[in-house]
Structure 1
């Protein structure tokens, strides 16, 4: 079999990073390289032509997941004509939905990667990207229409979103799961 073109190699790498980003949020860093490559539609051997190690892929996939989250926040602000409060409310509605609870692969990397990052599932780069991503998400949630940063409010909102999502996923299949989502939603929206 012949060599792939540079353009095809770049496309393959993008596909692996995107697939890894989704699988890591869904299954954690214990997912095997073989499973990642199979899900990407590539051979296990192709992995080593693209990445130095699984840790390097985890680093890149973590950055990819947070870049995607940042794009979603920017798109939300644009969709609501710059009205940050409306974009924040839409994010809360989506974040605390049954659909988000049930779709970890396409869900928030803050919740999807937290346990693995805490256990050094990535490397120093993954932890740095994760930390910056958490700070950016909190800033998005804390900023107000006047441009104030509201750091404390943003952190508190993020903690509420994150905690509710993790608990709702852990109790999925019981009535408590949806009660958790509803209670967190009410706490974040009824108080402004």
Structure 2
């Protein structure tokens, strides 16, 4: 088989990053092997190292990608509520604390999906930096005054983490409901 063009190599790289962003959120970084990832996108295991220095380097890029997806989602909420951030925030909270979002781990919030894996990375690593920047972006979007609303981010991420960990039990639904009831004052 011949070498792929530069354009195809770039497209393959994008596909690997997108798949990693999804799979790392679904299964956790340690549970996704390079072979699993490359099979997911229909490429050979050997091709991985032509594109990425390591799985840790890919984690950084996948984290950036996942938070870019979140930024697109936030922009969609804004577009549905032009000039009305309170309504956009309200819709985001409704979605974020829904069973639909709870159950869509691979496409769900990267702050929740990648948090425990990023916590295990080095304190000065690029994945941690990308994660911190993404959480900051999310917190600024949630803020009514342009500062970071870290309390709301913390409640959303914590509630979703607990709801996912207890999915299939009645407690999971109660967690989502309790957080939703507690948040309206925080998002006004």
Residues 89-111 of structure 1: CA deviation (Å, up to 9, x unaligned) = 11101100101111110000000
Tell whether the 8 Å contact from 1:138 to 1:157 is kept in structure 2 after alignment.
yes
Tell whether the 8 Å contact from 1:55 to 1:123 is kept in structure 2 after alignment.
no
Report SS of the residue matched to 1:26.
helix
Residue 163 (structure 1) aligned with residue 163 (structure 2): no
Q: Which runs of 4+ in 1 moved over 6 A?
A: none
Tell whether the 8 Å contact from 1:21 to 1:65 is kept in structure 2 after alignment.
yes
Question: Aligned partners of 1:17, 1:150: CA distance in 2, in Å?
Answer: 30
RMSD of aligned residue pairs (Cα, Å): 1.5
Tell whether the 8 Å contact from 1:59 to 1:122 is kept in structure 2 after alignment.
no
TM superposition shift of 1:121:
7.4
> What's 1:38 paired with?
39
Residue 101 (structure 1) aligned with residue 93 (structure 2): no
TM superposition shift of 1:123:
6.8
> What's 2:19 paired with?
19
Note closer, same or farther for the CA distance 1:173–1:99 as it changes in structure 2 (3 Å cut).
same
> What's 2:146 paired with?
149
Note closer, same or farther for the CA distance 1:123–1:40 as it changes in structure 2 (3 Å cut).
farther
TM superposition shift of 1:155:
0.9
Note closer, same or farther for the CA distance 1:173–1:180 as it changes in structure 2 (3 Å cut).
same
TM superposition shift of 1:74:
1.7
> What's 1:57 paired with?
58
Tell whether the 8 Å contact from 1:37 to 1:43 is kept in structure 2 after alignment.
yes
> What's 2:79 paired with?
78
TM superposition shift of 1:52:
1.1
- Could you list the runs of 5+ residues in structure 1 that have no partner in the other structure? none
Question: Aligned partners of 2:131, 2:35: CA distance in 1, in Å?
Answer: 25
Residue 116 (structure 1) aligned with residue 117 (structure 2): yes
- Return the TM-score normalized by structure 2: 0.94
